[in-house]
Chains A and B, each alone.
Chain A
Amino acid sequence: MAGLRLRGVAGSPGVALGPAFVFAPAARAAGGGAEAEVQASAAPEAEVARWLEARARLEAAYDRLVERAREAAGRGAAGAAAAEEGLAILEAQRMMVDDPGLEQAVREAVAAGKRAEAATREAVDRYAALFAGLEDAYLRQRAEDVREIGEAMLRALAGEEPIPLADLPPGSILCAPELGAGALLALDREALAGLALGSGGPTSHVAILARSMGVPAVLGLGDFLDEVRQGARVAVDGEAGELWVEPAGEELERLARAERRARAEREELAGLAGQPAVTPDGLRVELVANIGGPGDVEPALEAGAEGVGLFRTEFLVTGRETLPGEAEQAEVYRRVLEAMGGRPVIFRTFDIGGDKPVPALHLPQEANPFLGYRAIRIGLDHPDLLRTQLRAVLRAAAEAAPGGKGGAAGRGGTGPAESPARIMLPMVATLEEVRRARRLLEEARGELVARGLFPEGLRVPLGIMVEVPAAALIARRLAREVDFFSIGSNDLIQYTLAADRTDERVAGLYQPFHPAVLRLIGLCGEAAEEAGIPCGICGEMGGDPRATALLLGLGVRELSMTAASLARVKREVRRTPLARARELARQALACATAAEVEELVRAFREGWTAAGAAGGADAP
C-alpha cells in the first residue's frame, strides 16, 4: 500500500518524483560470452577489420560527446562545471579507446581464433583486472572506465549505437543498471528529473557529475529493475539514498512535499539574483567567485558574483613544458579584469608544487610534497618566475584601468587610487615571506614605472592566503603588513588536523567544524578587524551555507566560492543577523568537538527550513 522502498546509496542530494524511464541496453560483457567464444572465427583478417570499423564508430561517438561537453563548458551554461568535469573524463576515455595495447591484445586473440567480441571481452577483462588490483584508489576506479569502453565496443560490434542515448520524456526518473559518464552527459538535462542506478557509489564519475548537474540521484541499487515497470511512478530520495516505487499515502505526501520544497528553493534562489548580500541587521557581505580561468568569468557574473575572490592562475603553468612570459600572462589577466568590469579580482600567485607539478621547473622529488616545496616557497626561490607574474598582474591592472580609476568596491581610504586587481600569496607561513614578496612587488612596480607601463598613483593591494596554522596564529602581526586576508580553508583544515581528505582512511578527521579550525579562523577575523583590513575565505567552507553564520560571526566578511554556491550562501547571509551569528560563533568556540559544533549549527538553522517559505527571503 505504501509502496516499495529500495535502499541504495545517496549519490546526489535532492528529491524528485516522476515516471520511471527504464533504460537497460543489453549489457554485453556478461551475457552471450560463452557461445561467442566457441564460434571459431573463419577469417582473422575480416574479424580484425570488423573490430577496427567498430572502433572507428566508437571514436566518432566519443568525438561527438567531447565536442558537446566542450561546447557546454565554453558556453558557461548552468552545467558548465559538470561539463568541464565530464570533459576530463571523456578525454581520458577517448584516449583509452585508441590505446595501442588494447588493439594489440585484440589482434592477438583474433589470431588465436577468437571472434572480435570474445577478443574484446578478454582484453577488457585483462585491463580491468589490472586496474582493480592496484593500490591507488583513483586508479582502481579506472577499471570502471575500461569496462564502460568495453561495453560500448561490444555494442558497436553488434551494429548498435555504441553509446546509446536515452530519449527521455520530460520529468523522467532515469532507471538503469548503470550509466557511463558519456551517456549521462549526452542526456537532455531539461528532461532528466532524477537518476536511479543499479551500480555506482558516492565517488563514481556518475555521482560527481549528477551533483554538479544538480540532479538528485540514488546509486548502488543492485538488480532493482525487476521491481520497476516502465512508466511507474517512482521517487528518488537523494538524501536518504532511497528509491520509492509507486509510493502512496503518507509516504507519497512526504515525498511530494520534499520535492515541492526543493523546487520552491530553486525558485527562491533564482529570485535572490538581483538582491544584495546584506544581513537583516545591515552588514554588507561580499560574495565573490573562485575561478580557474577566463572561461569561468561569465558563469560567475551570471550567478551574481560581486568580484573574484580567488583566481587560480596555475593553469598557465601546470603541465607546461615552457613557462608563459610577462606579455602572455598580462593578456590573460587583463581579459579577466575587463570581463569583471571594475569589480575586484584577487590573483593568487602560482600555487604550484604538491599535487600540481610544473614540468618546466624541474622540481625535485619529495617524500612529503604537501609539507614541501610549493606555492610561495617556490615563488620566492624562483624570484624571476614570481617577479614575471607580479609584473604581468601590475601591467594588466594598469591596462584595464587606463585612467587609474579605483575599483567599484574600493575599500575606503583616500590616498592613491586602488586598482580592482589584488595580489594574493599562497601558503604563507612567516612574516619574512610576506616582506620578501612585497620587495619583489615593489621591484616589479619600479621596473614597470620606469618602462612607462604603470602609473605612479595606482595601488594594487597585496594580501595573503591563510592556510598554514602558523600564519593564523600570528595573524595580528601579519595584519599590519598585508592589505587583506583570505582563509584557504581546505589546506588550513588539512594542516590543522594533519589529515589528507583524499585518503579515505583518515578522511573522517578532515573536520571543517572542528573547534581548532574555528579558533584559527576567529584569530584571522579578529586581527583583520583590528587592523582595518578585510578578511575573506576562499576554500570550500566559503561556499557551504551551513558554515556561513559561523564565518560571519568569526569576522569573515568576504565569501568566495564556486559560482554554483552563490545563491544559497546569499540566502543564508540575508537571513542571518550578525548579532546572532556572533553569539553562535562564541558558543561554537567553546565546543569540544566538531560534532558538538555541527549540532549547534543544525539547531541554529532549523527554524529556517520551517519558516523559510513564510518570510525568510523578505526579512528586512
Chain B
Amino acid sequence: MQEATVVIGQAEGLHARPAAEFVKLAHRFRSAVRLGLNGREADGKSIMAVMALGANHGAEVELRVEGEDAEEAFRALRAFLEGGGS
C-alpha cells in the first residue's frame, strides 16, 4: 500500500471539474483509492464521495492506494492532487 499526506494544489480545490478529473484518473487503475480529510474518508472512484469531501485548495488530504498497480496509480494521483500532471 502507498500512503501519503498531500496538499491540494488545485486552485479551485477538489471541486466539480477537478473532482471529476480525479475520479476519471482513479478509474484508469485497478488499485483501490481512498482519500481522507478531517477524519472522513472517501472512495476515490466515487464522484459523489470525492466532491462531498469538500477538499479546498491547500487542504491536507490522506491519499491511500492499494492494489497491483498501486505504485503507478499513487504517482499519478498524487501529482494530480498537487496540481501537476499525472
- Which positions in A face B, CB cutoff 8 Å? 91-92, 95-96, 99-102, 104, 127, 130-131, 134-136, 138-139, 142, 146, 319-322, 353-357, 359-367, 369
Contact = CB atoms under 8 A, between A and B. Distances in A.
B26 to A, nearest CB: 10
B78 to A, nearest CB: 12
A367 B84 contact: no
B7 interface: yes
B51 to A, nearest CB: 6
A398 B20 CA distance: 39
Nearest to B82: A362
Contacts of A356: 11
A319 B17 contact: yes
26 contacts: A92-B16, A101-B43, A101-B46, A101-B48, A102-B48, A104-B43, A127-B48, A131-B48, A134-B54, A135-B54, A136-B13, A139-B16, A139-B52, A319-B17, A319-B21, A322-B85, A353-B11, A354-B11, A359-B80, A359-B84, A359-B86, A361-B84, A362-B9, A362-B79, A362-B85, A363-B83
User: What's the dominant secondary structure at chain B's contact region?
Assistant: loop
Contacts of A369: 11, 57
Given A100-B45, A131-B51, A367-B58, A357 B11 contact: yes
B69 interface: no
| The 6 nearest A-B residue pairs measured at CB | A101-B46, A362-B84, A321-B85, A130-B52, A365-B9, A359-B85
A101 B11 contact: no
Nearest to B23: A95
Interface string B51-66: 1101011100000000
Interface in B70-86: 79-80, 82-86
A391 B46 CA distance: 41
Contact of B20 (A95, A127, A134, A322): A95
Most A C-beta atoms less than 10 A away, residue of B18, B20, B45, B47 = B47
Given A320-B85, A322-B85, A361-B84, 10 more contacts: A95-B20, A100-B43, A127-B52, A134-B52, A136-B13, A355-B11, A357-B83, A359-B80, A364-B9, A366-B57
Interface of B: 7-13, 15-18, 20-21, 23, 43, 45-49, 51-52, 54, 56-58, 79-80, 82-86
A90 B20 CA distance: 13
A354 B57 CA distance: 11
Contacts, number: 94
Contacts of B85: 320-322, 359-360, 362
Contacts of A366: 11, 57
Nearest to A102: B48
Nearest to A365: B9
B21 A142 contact: no
B8 A365 contact: yes
Contacts of B80: 359
B33 to A, nearest CB: 11
Contacts of B86: 321, 359
A186 to B, nearest CB: 22
Nearest to A366: B11
B54 to A, nearest CB: 5
Contacts of B13: 136
B32 to A, nearest CB: 11
Given A134-B54, A357-B18, A367-B58, A96 B9 contact: no
B52 A99 contact: no
A91 B21 CA distance: 12
B14 to A, nearest CB: 10
Nearest to A145: B48
A138 B84 CA distance: 24
